[in-house]
Amino acid sequence: MPHCKIPELVCPAGSLPALKAAVDNGADTVYFGYRNDTNARNFAGLNFDRKAMVEGVAYAHARGRHVLLAINTFPQPGREADWHAAIDGAADLGADAVILADVGLLDYARSRHPGLRLHLSVQGSATSYEAVNFACREFGVRRAVLPRVLTLAQVERVIRNTLAEIEVFCFGSLCVMNEGRCWLSSYATGESPNTLGACSPARFVKWEKKPGRMDTRLNGILIDRYDDREPAGYPTLCKGRFEVNGATYYALEEPVSLNALELLPEIARIGVAAVKIEGRQRSPAYVAQATRTWRAALDALGEGPEGFTVRPAWRAELGKLAEGAQVTLGAYDRPWR
């Protein structure tokens, strides 16, 4: 039976148990971040101190897996040394690569740690091969993570015109913004997710139970209103329901998850180097289930893309993990384009 080159599976870890769950369930690579605002998933109770990082790197490497350290926020003026220290720490830990968005940090990493492999974060918002090639030429970037705003044809165009490896998201929460340039949360809370590391920080979030309904607010702003039969989601501005011209609906983005399983043969055909599961803010159980399902799908793809079909069990397992129990192909499949 013919074989094809299958993409690397890159999985999230918001905690040491999540990292181990990813490794144990078939991740090729795990990505994680510091427990501070150098990390774009800087939620309370998540992420890694140095002790956990040392243990996590050792656990993954002992099993032949890779680890990527995400330092993917933008430095705050006057605090650049904190981000530089994070990069130094990644090199000391033996991370297989560091994921960076800021060009100043890319320059620092290239100059201070020339042997450290660099990946361009999705937060860098590189949506063209010219942007990817700039990062490769100027900073020696080896891989770029593309934002979730490109069609698959546009992804293929990038791949055809760059020597960099290209990584794309395959499952998890979507971002309606040009990633790395979100203003909504910072408008509402005064804290930018691109410098302080958390979209809709928990201390600004409030659930208000009222007769027959649940209101969710972000810094006092009403984001959504659920009746007692609906699960109340985490309040982010881009996925709230708002009144527009007398109608109330999801005006910017619906709470739905990307699931690109059915596009796997095409993703492999165009030469995507790695597929990435979103969810460092999610539980170890989520990581285990998503990783296990995608591992099975990628292994099936490797047996021959012409015979690949999405199994109902895979669809059902990922459906349980999706926001609002709904999935989409996102920007990858836009017939109107």
Give the DSSP per-residue string, 274-301: EEEE--TTS-HHHHHHHHHHHHHHHHHH
Mean pLDDT for 247-264 is 90
Q: Which residue has the tokens 């080896």?
A: 142
| Distance from C-alpha of 74 to C-alpha of 103, rounded to nearest angstrom | 9
CB atoms within 10 A of CB 270: 18
What pLDDT band is residue 335 in, cutting at 50, 70 and 90? low
On the question of pLDDT at 90 being above 80, the answer is yes
On the question of pLDDT at 101 being above 90, the answer is yes
- 79: its two tokens: 């605090």
Give Cβ neighbours of residue 253 (< 8 Å, ≥ 6 apart).
Answer: 174, 176, 238, 239
Q: What is the pLDDT of residues 169-185, one digit of tens each?
A: 999 988 766 676 677 88
Query: What percent of the chain lies above the pLDDT cut of 70?
Result: 96
Mean pLDDT for 155-170 is 98
The H or E element that residue 210 is part of is strand 205-210
- 203: its two tokens: 């201390």
CA atoms within 13 A on the CB side of 120: 33
On the question of pLDDT at 326 being above 90, the answer is no
Q: Name the residue with higher pLDDT: 302 or 335.
A: 302
| Distance from C-alpha of 193 to C-alpha of 43, rounded to nearest angstrom | 11
Q: Which residue has the tokens 């074989």?
A: 3
Q: What is the pLDDT of residues 137-146, one digit of tens each?
A: 999 999 999 9
On the question of pLDDT at 300 being above 70, the answer is yes
- pLDDT at position 2: 44
Span of 158-167, 238-247, 311-320 with lowest mean pLDDT = 238-247
Contact 12, 275 (CB under 8 A): no
What pLDDT band is residue 337 in, cutting at 50, 70 and 90? very low
| Distance from C-alpha of 166 to C-alpha of 160, rounded to nearest angstrom | 10
| Distance from C-alpha of 245 to C-alpha of 248, rounded to nearest angstrom | 8
On the question of pLDDT at 336 being above 60, the answer is no
Give how far Cα 66 sits from Cα of 61, 69, 97, 300, Å: 6, 10, 9, 22
Q: What is the mean pLDDT of the chain?
A: 92
Q: Model pTM greater than 0.85?
A: yes
| Distance from C-alpha of 136 to C-alpha of 119, rounded to nearest angstrom | 9
Q: What is the pLDDT of residues 43-80, one digit of tens each?
A: 888 999 999 999 999 999 999 999 999 999 999 999 99
Which domains are assigned to the chain? Answer: 8-174+256-332 (3.20.20.70), 184-250 (no CATH)
What pLDDT band is residue 195 in, cutting at 50, 70 and 90? confident
Contact 284, 46 (CB under 8 A): no
What pLDDT band is residue 1 in, cutting at 50, 70 and 90? very low
Mean pLDDT for 1-18 is 86
Span of 159-173, 185-199, 276-290 with lowest mean pLDDT = 185-199
Residue 214: beta bridge partners? 209, 226
Query: What percent of the chain lies above the pLDDT cut of 90?
Result: 75
SS3 241: strand
